[in-house]
Structure 1
Amino acid sequence: MKRLAVDPSTTSEYIEWLGRRINDNIPVPSQGDNQLAEKHEKMNLKLDIDVQKLETENLRKGKRKAEEDLISLKTDYKKLLLSARTARLGKTSEQWCQEIQ
């Protein structure tokens, strides 16, 4: 902030003029500033909505991937059970005891 040394010979008209000049340079909220603030608020709201959409899309992709992985695991498990039965590994402990004796 600038400081001005006032000389005793400075006139009262000059002091009034200087006060008006300094006050004219201080920004006062105007209708345009209010509209600008509303525009920024709308843009922020739109950005928030866009972020939510992206997060939702990412969650859906993650869910879809998890469901595909689950289906793949179920398929692999069924194949493993089938191969275990084919190799006669699917017997109970009692059946193994009988076969060994």
Structure 2
Amino acid sequence: MTIVLMGAATFALRFCFFGPLNAERMPARVEQALPYVMPAVLMAIIVPSVILAPSPGDGPGWLSPYLVGAGVGFGVGAVKKDNFFLVFASAVVAFALAKFLL
């Protein structure tokens, strides 16, 4: 019941802000900023967990599997910008290898 009520509250809050807007009346600045919302939210979620991840044993902090996976994913994403699945798969594989090898 709590999940349903929180979902309804979240929907209501978002609908009150975006519901009345028509696509024709949306300001140009807001429309230009919309493609950056998803990467900004993902960065807000991912960066703290990568930066604050514990290092393996007594090794250096830069050998953290989270940091290795994020670095590989970022590097592949810088080269292959339009291939989400390749970026995601490379980050997961790098994380898994670093987790098992370190």
Bigger RCO of structures 1 and 2 (CA < 8 A, at least 6 apart): 2
> Normalising to structure 1: TM-score of the pair?
0.26
Greater radius of gyration (CA): 1
> Normalising to structure 2: TM-score of the pair?
0.26
